[in-house]
């Protein structure tokens, strides 16, 4: 849904003679529109189609298939009276484009240019304190700030900052160092360029507002910040929990601290409330310009009924100086919830190893004396469950079950994929532990890893399809409302499709297979499903719900079974309506499956097919699990059919190397796997696992646990799936200028991870890892930023653990030399040096420009088609994904995968 955002310049006190004055232009230049895919801006230069390092001719025309005569030129726009900057192109015949291209034609890209003027204090001298800018771009893709005089840009590479395109809640502004030092005696002008991208999913169909013209609504606030050697509290980013009957409803809190400059380490914490023990979970290092949430755990000896938690945090500056920060954190006190009170309790837990995380939990209306399966409710995109109470109030109340409302890390998260999915499952387990220790609700506690009812709306409806089809045994029944099938169903590739080799395109799109929920709906054909959709949905067309319903029915018919699936299409309703989930039919559906749930999987049910892409990111179905695939990059399927009037299970596999099944309890004496009969001996029935022999290609029964390590991820996005903080490693030996660029890039990515996913990061120099005996590697996922000249990158690639490696100083791909030059960029996944559960990402650029290009593919948002490894060329700025010169998915044990590799650089 489109949300208005203000355009304003925030000024310091102009009466203060020691303050800088900042002015943001009232006139903006606009070039566009250009067709673009929903995530194509990650590949294209944000300034597409212009080169910002060259003088701009504002009289020049540019080609665009959206405009009459296929040309567009610069235009102008101004903020409206209420300070809103709207960007639209009424001269484009949008309705005509829509007739043949559908609403995909409404997506477009534009480049905007404004000016920032900094006027020094009247009393300024050459010793004016250094300043930087705080910039918050709302609903724009990227921005950069450059000197207004093009001659001053000749040695500069634009540093692009990702905007808050989702208009995320509680977002802090970007800290932007000016590209040149402002003059201390006269005004200095800078150009600010914005990449504006209209996405249907974000801003909706313009017909919703009775117009055919799509309009970008972009907000930007800019202010001056004085650079000081201090830490700043950012209370809006804190994490806290409610107190129930004087006891914390969770074990974690988080305090947000931001370093204005220099490095700090939070070393200890001291509580001032005698009833509460507050402990620092881990010493926390904060890099210059970085925000971190300090993880604290709380324990109690007795109830606490105060309104504020009081404690002090001690941080040590890199010089050794200590700084004590007093904290007063407000808390909400609640009494034991009564059945008639629809109160959502705010709970907390530690996500991963060090990230305090909050969620909501609604207790059952009747206080049952036994546990029942919980209900997991996934919110839609842009819904802040903490500040927007309508989501909790719109859910059906259960008289027996707890209803859990995870945040998904943020209001958008990763579309309930990756860390958002992890958060959803972890919230269920966290509540299980909280209830087990609650004197008020202990009787309702369920076990960790329990199965549940899953429901959601919009993006949450899509999340229901995604989670239930990846971990079907954790789901009892599902209610997807207004859910889309997958992000790619909105808009296809646009610019890149005209230039890209279809073989390369196939590999890139294969990296999105984990997000293609329609391919995994085989896994829910035996689940009770209630599909809900508004008949006139103007955001997620109703055909998405109908199509998912049809897919389940089709798979069921192929198995000769009748699925328990119902389509509830509410005639005349739009995307959201208060009764979409809170109605009698949904309540009865939930009640039926809460009361009738049976978790016994000892006997195989009706025929089913388990579909998996990467086994490490999928669970079991009816106790059966695909453990390993033959060819990474391809779907794997396991079909199990009990033969009528026989004690034989007929199993068929596609792209399966090994699989396991539940204990059969004597029901089946014989399994037929791909036509090969295998007898189940009594010794084997406790652990049924099959492996395919590599030479004979025959299946054999094994009773030992597999010794295989996790397979190489098939998409770059898997890097976000770690169980701890992400470390960015920077090359200390780099030149001052190059290190400055790399530090800026690390800071920008750390900001992105916090804004979009509330994922914690740490930045270190490579020399900090060196010990007398080798390297002290980070325990969890880490990314190394630099070039092929940097020692750490050379060391990692020199180990030859992947087909992309260094040998005798030369970059090799599958044994052949790769031609590199100053414009070459790479981003790839690599095995972790000491852990099979963690990953390494290498972000490599042979120039500052190439490094910026590679970093645009860092997986902040869903729908970015980037596989295990990619090599990039400068043409990517203009041709999009067609500017990739090499890409692929690693094979088993990080080997070469001929079927899913493409290169023109050999």
- Calculate mean pLDDT across residues 144-172: 93
Predicted local distance difference test score (pLDDT) of residue 4: 33
Task: For residue 849, tell me if it sits in a domain.
Answer: yes
Task: For residue 760, tell me if it sits in a domain.
Answer: yes
Report pLDDT digits (tens) over 795-850: 999 999 999 999 998 999 999 999 999 999 999 999 999 999 999 999 999 999 99
Question: What CATH number has the domain bearing residue 328?
Answer: 2.60.40.10
Is the same domain home to 223 and 235?
no
Report pLDDT digits (tens) over 391-434: 999 999 999 999 999 999 999 999 999 999 999 999 999 999 99
Band (pLDDT 50/70/90 cuts) for residue 873 is: very high
Band (pLDDT 50/70/90 cuts) for residue 771 is: confident
Report pLDDT digits (tens) over 484-532: 998 877 666 667 888 999 999 999 999 999 999 999 999 999 999 999 9
Alpha-carbon distance of 551 to 2, in angstroms, equals 31
Predicted local distance difference test score (pLDDT) of residue 6: 35
The SS3 call for residue 231 is: strand
**pLDDT for residue 289 is more than 50:** yes
Phi-psi region of 758 (alpha: psi -120 to 50; beta: other; left: phi over 0): left
Beta strands in 731-872 (DSSP E): 761-765, 770-771, 774-775, 782-786, 804-807, 810-813, 816-817, 825-831, 839-845, 869-872
Structure tokens, 211: 């117009």
Question: What CATH number has the domain bearing residue 553?
Answer: 3.40.50.1820
Band (pLDDT 50/70/90 cuts) for residue 472 is: very high
Cα→Cα distances 201→102, 104, 197, Å: 14, 10, 11
**pLDDT for residue 12 is more than 50:** no
Is the same domain home to 344 and 306?
no
Alpha-carbon distance of 693 to 681, in angstroms, equals 20
| Average pLDDT score over the chain | 91
Task: For residue 502, tell me if it sits in a domain.
Answer: no
Alpha-carbon distance of 34 to 44, in angstroms, equals 12
The strand pair at 252-259 and 291-300 is best described as antiparallel
DSSP code at position 394: T
Alpha-carbon distance of 629 to 361, in angstroms, equals 38
Is the same domain home to 117 and 218?
yes
**pLDDT for residue 1 is more than 50:** no
Report the number of distinct structural domains present in the chain: 5
pTM: 0.95
Is the same domain home to 61 and 177?
yes
Question: Taking a C-beta distance cutoff of 8 angstroms, is the pair 473, 22 a contact?
Answer: no
Cα→Cα distances 780→332, 715, 720, 792, Å: 34, 18, 11, 17
Is the same domain home to 214 and 232?
no
Residue 544: CB partners within 8 Å, gap ≥ 6?
483, 484, 485, 489, 533
Question: Taking a C-beta distance cutoff of 8 angstroms, is the pair 329, 255 a contact?
Answer: yes
Alpha-carbon distance of 840 to 838, in angstroms, equals 7
**pLDDT for residue 772 is more than 90:** no
Report pLDDT digits (tens) over 434-462: 999 998 899 999 999 999 999 999 999 99
Predicted local distance difference test score (pLDDT) of residue 14: 36
Predicted local distance difference test score (pLDDT) of residue 704: 61
DSSP code at position 773: T
Report pLDDT digits (tens) over 692-720: 888 888 998 876 666 567 889 999 999 99
Band (pLDDT 50/70/90 cuts) for residue 333 is: very high
Kindly give the interhelix angle for 459-470 and 418-436, rounded to the nearest 10 degrees: 80
Residue 736: CB partners within 8 Å, gap ≥ 6?
none
**pLDDT for residue 775 is more than 80:** yes
Report pLDDT digits (tens) over 23-79: 999 999 999 999 998 888 899 999 999 999 899 999 999 999 999 999 999 999 997
Predicted local distance difference test score (pLDDT) of residue 208: 87
SS (H, E, C) 657-692: EEEEECCCCCCCCEEEECCEEEECCCCCCCCEEEEE
Question: Of 309, 335, 361, which closes a domain?
Answer: 335
- Calculate mean pLDDT across residues 185-213: 92
Is the same domain home to 158 and 254?
no
- Calculate mean pLDDT across residues 234-254: 96
Is the same domain home to 564 and 663?
no
Question: Of 677, 702, 727, which closes a domain?
Answer: 702
Could you tell me what percent of the chain has a pLDDT over 70? 93
Is the same domain home to 565 and 640?
no
Predicted local distance difference test score (pLDDT) of residue 331: 94
Predicted local distance difference test score (pLDDT) of residue 38: 80
Predicted local distance difference test score (pLDDT) of residue 791: 94
Is the same domain home to 853 and 721?
yes
Give the residue numbers spanning the domain of 293: 228-335
What is the helix (H) or strand (E) element at residue 746, kind and residue range?
helix 736-757
Report pLDDT digits (tens) over 558-599: 999 999 999 999 999 999 999 999 999 999 999 999 998 766
Is the same domain home to 213 and 238?
no
Predicted local distance difference test score (pLDDT) of residue 17: 57
The strand pair at 699-702 and 688-692 is best described as antiparallel
Phi-psi region of 546 (alpha: psi -120 to 50; beta: other; left: phi over 0): alpha
- Calculate mean pLDDT across residues 176-186: 92
């Amino acid at each position: 849904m489109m949300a208005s955002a203000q355009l304003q310049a925030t000024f310091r006190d102009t009466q203060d003679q020691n303050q800088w004055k900042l002015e943001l232009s009232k006139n903006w230049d606009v070039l566009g529109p250009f067709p673009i895919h929903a995530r194509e801006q990650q590949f294209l230069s944000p300034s597409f189609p212009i080169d910002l390092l060259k003088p701009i001719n504002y009289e020049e025309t540019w080609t665009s298939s959206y405009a009459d005569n296929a040309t567009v030129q610069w235009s102008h726009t101004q903020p409206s009276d209420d300070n809103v900057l709207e960007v639209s192109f009424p001269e484009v015949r949008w309705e005509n484009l829509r007739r043949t291209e559908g609403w995909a034609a409404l997506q477009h890209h534009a480049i905007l240019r404004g000016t920032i003027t900094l006027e020094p204090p009247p009393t300024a001298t050459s010793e004016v304190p250094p300043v930087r800018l705080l910039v918050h771009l709302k609903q724009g893709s990227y921005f950069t700030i450059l000197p207004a005089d093009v001659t001053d840009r000749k040695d500069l590479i634009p540093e692009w900052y990702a905007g808050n395109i989702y208009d995320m809640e509680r977002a802090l502004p970007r800290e932007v160092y000016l590209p040149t030092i402002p003059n201390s005696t006269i005004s200095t002008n800078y150009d600010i360029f914005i990449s504006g991208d209209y996405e249907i999913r974000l801003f909706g169909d313009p017909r919703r507002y009775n117009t055919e013209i799509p309009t970008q609504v972009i907000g930007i606030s800019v202010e001056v910040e004085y650079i000081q050697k201090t830490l700043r509290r950012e209370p809006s980013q804190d994490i806290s929990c409610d107190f129930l009957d004087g006891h914390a409803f969770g074990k974690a809190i988080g305090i947000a601290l931001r370093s204005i400059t220099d490095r700090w380490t939070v070393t200890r914490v001291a509580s001032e409330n005698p009833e509460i023990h507050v402990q620092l979970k881990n010493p926390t290092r904060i890099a210059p310009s970085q925000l971190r949430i300090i993880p604290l755990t709380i324990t109690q000896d007795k109830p606490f009924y105060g309104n504020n938690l009081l404690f002090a945090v001690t941080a040590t500056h890199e010089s050794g100086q200590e700084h004590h920060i007093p904290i007063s954190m407000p808390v909400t006190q609640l009494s034991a919830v009564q059945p008639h009170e629809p109160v959502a309790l705010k709970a907390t837990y530690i996500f991963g190893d060090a990230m305090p995380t909050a969620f909501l939990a609604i207790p059952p209306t009747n206080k049952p004396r036994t546990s029942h399966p919980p209900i997991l409710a996934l919110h839609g995109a842009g819904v802040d469950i903490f500040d927007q109470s309508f989501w909790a109030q719109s859910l059906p109340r259960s008289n027996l079950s707890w209803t859990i409302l995870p945040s998904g890390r943020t209001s958008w998260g990763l579309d309930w994929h990756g860390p958002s999915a992890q958060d959803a499952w972890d919230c269920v387990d966290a509540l299980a532990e909280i209830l087990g220790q609650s004197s008020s609700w202990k009787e309702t506690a369920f076990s960790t890893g329990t199965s549940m009812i899953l429901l959601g709306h919009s993006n949450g409806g899509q999340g229901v399809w995604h989670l239930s089809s990846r971990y079907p045994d954790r789901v009892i029944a599902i209610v997807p409302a207004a859910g889309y099938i997958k992000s790619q169903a909105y808009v296809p590739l646009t610019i890149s499709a005209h230039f890209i080799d279809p073989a390369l395109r196939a590999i890139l799109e294969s990296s999105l297979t984990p997000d293609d929920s329609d391919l995994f709906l085989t896994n829910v054909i035996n689940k009770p499903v209630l599909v809900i959709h508004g008949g006139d949905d103007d955001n997620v067309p109703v055909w998405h719900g109908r199509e998912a319903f049809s897919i389940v029915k089709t798979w069921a018919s192929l198995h000769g079974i009748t699925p328990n699936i119902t389509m509830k299409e509410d005639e005349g309703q739009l995307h959201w309506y208060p009764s979409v989930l809170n109605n009698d039919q949904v309540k009865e559906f939930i009640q039926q499956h809460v009361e009738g749930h049976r978790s016994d999987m000892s006997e195989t049910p009706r025929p089913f097919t388990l579909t998996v892409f990467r086994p490490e990111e999928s669970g079991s179905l009816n106790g059966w699990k695909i453990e390993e695939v033959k060819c990474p990059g391809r779907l794997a399927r396991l079909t199990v059919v009990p033969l009528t009037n026989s004690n034989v299970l007929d199993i068929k596999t596609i792209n399966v190397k090994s699989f396991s099944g539940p204990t059969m309890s004597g029901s089946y004496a014989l399994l037929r796997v791909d036509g090969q009969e295998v007898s189940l001996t009594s010794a084997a029935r406790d652990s049924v696992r099959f492996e395919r022999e590599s030479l004979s290609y025959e299946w054999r029964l094994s009773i030992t646990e597999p010794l295989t390590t996790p397979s190489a991820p098939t998409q770059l996005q898997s890097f976000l799936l770690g169980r701890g903080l992400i470390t960015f490693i920077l090359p200390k030996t780099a030149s001052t200028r190059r290190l400055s660029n790399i530090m800026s890039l690390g800071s920008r990515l750390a900001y992105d991870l916090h804004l979009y996913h509330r994922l914690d990061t740490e930045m270190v120099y490579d020399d900090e890892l060196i010990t007398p005996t080798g390297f002290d590697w980070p325990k969890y996922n880490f990314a190394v930023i630099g070039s092929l000249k940097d020692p750490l990158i050379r060391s990692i690639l020199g180990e030859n653990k992947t087909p992309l490696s260094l040998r005798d100083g030369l970059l090799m791909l599958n044994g052949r030399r790769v031609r590199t030059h100053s414009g070459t960029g790479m981003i790839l996944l690599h095995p972790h040096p000491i852990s099979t559960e963690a990953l390494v990402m290498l972000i490599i650029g042979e120039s500052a420009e190439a490094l910026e290009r590679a970093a645009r593919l860092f997986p902040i948002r869903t729908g970015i088609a980037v596989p295990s490894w990619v090599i990039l060329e400068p043409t990517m700025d203009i041709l999009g994904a067609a500017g990739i010169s090499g890409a692929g998915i690693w094979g088993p044990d990080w080997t070469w995968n001929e079927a899913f590799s493409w290169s023109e650089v050999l």
